[in-house]
Structure formats: structure tokens, C-alpha cells
Amino acid sequence: MDGLHLLAEFRGCRCVPELLCEATRLRRLCLDEVHAAGLNPVGELFHSFEPVGVTGVVLLAESHLALHTWPEFRVITLDVYVCNHRRDASAAAWDLIAALQDQFRPMNSICREVTRGDVADGFSPATAPQAPTWRP
């Protein structure tokens, strides 16, 4: 399925610590920014670890946003995946990553872009069945 998957790391986050530590606050921020980017949430789940750290996901009609925080290192890893089945949501995915970066205020950030699906790998429905070759 054609789509875009963005994999980001934010380090040295200068936001208020609660954004990294409190699941309810992180959840609220994620939902607000998902809506602001024009994406469509269909559910969300956030989990707090002991002693610190939150992991969470917003399921989207377009696919998902997932985040994992390490408050002790002021690090967040996150990924946004949008399938472009009904419309091209790529711009919204970039907007969401940028908006979250504005909120977490990392000292350093990196974002990898992975194009997924037929366009990316030349798959054709006419391709003959193959044995999986990707296992290391």
C-alpha cells in the first residue's frame, strides 16, 4: 500500500518535563496536533512506565502516530505512518512531525523518510510469487 513512514528522534528536549512524563498530557498534545495536521484519529492508547517513560499511539484513519519517551535522557522517538490510499496525506505527516518538534523543542533532531508500498519497490500484482528473501 503506497504511503509515507517518517521515523524521527528528538534529543535534548527542552519542553516542560511533564510532556515526557505524563501520559495524559502527552495524549492531549498528540490528539491536538493530529487534528491540527488534518489527520483523523480513530483511537489512542498511552502507557506509563515505572519509574518514568511513556509509550503511546494514536491510530489514524490514515495509519498511525507512535511515540516513546525517555525522560531521563530527554529523548523521544516517534514515527508517523500515512497510507495514501484515499488521498495523499504526506504533507500532513510532515506537518505533524514539525508541530511535535515545535512542542518538544529538541536540541537535536533527525527524521528518516521511508516511502512504502508499490511505488517504492516496483511491486506489480503480476509479479510471480517469491520466496521471502529478506530474513537475515
The angle at the Cα of 21, spanning 19 to 25, to the nearest 5 degrees, equals 45
Coil vs helix vs strand at 66 = strand
Task: Between 29 and 81, name the residue whose CB sits nearer to a second copy.
Answer: 81
Of 20, 21, 66, 100, the one binding a second copy by CB under 8 A: 66
- 3-class DSSP string for 67-135: EEEECCCCEEEEEEEEECCCCCCHHHHHHHHHHHHHHHCCCEEEEEEEEECHHHHCCCCCCCCCCCCCC
Task: Between 36 and 114, name the residue whose CB sits nearer to a second copy.
Answer: 114
User: Grid coordinates in use for 25?
Assistant: 498530557
Of 20, 64, 96, 100, the one binding a second copy by CB under 8 A: 64
Any residues with CB less than 8 A from the CB of 28 and at least 6 apart, and which? none
Of 15, 99, 101, 103, the one binding a second copy by CB under 8 A: 101
89 binds a second copy (CB under 8 A): no
- CA 95, CA 89: separation in Å to the nearest integer? 10
15 binds a second copy (CB under 8 A): no
Residue of 5, 21, 30, 63 marked catalytic = 63
**What residues are annotated to the active site?**
63, 68, 83
Residues forming contacts to a second copy in the complex (CB under 8 A) are 1, 3, 5, 7-9, 11-12, 42-45, 47, 49, 55-57, 59-61, 63-64, 66, 68, 70, 73, 75, 77, 79, 81, 83, 85, 94, 98, 101, 107-114, 116-117, 121, 123, 127, 129-130, 132, 134-136
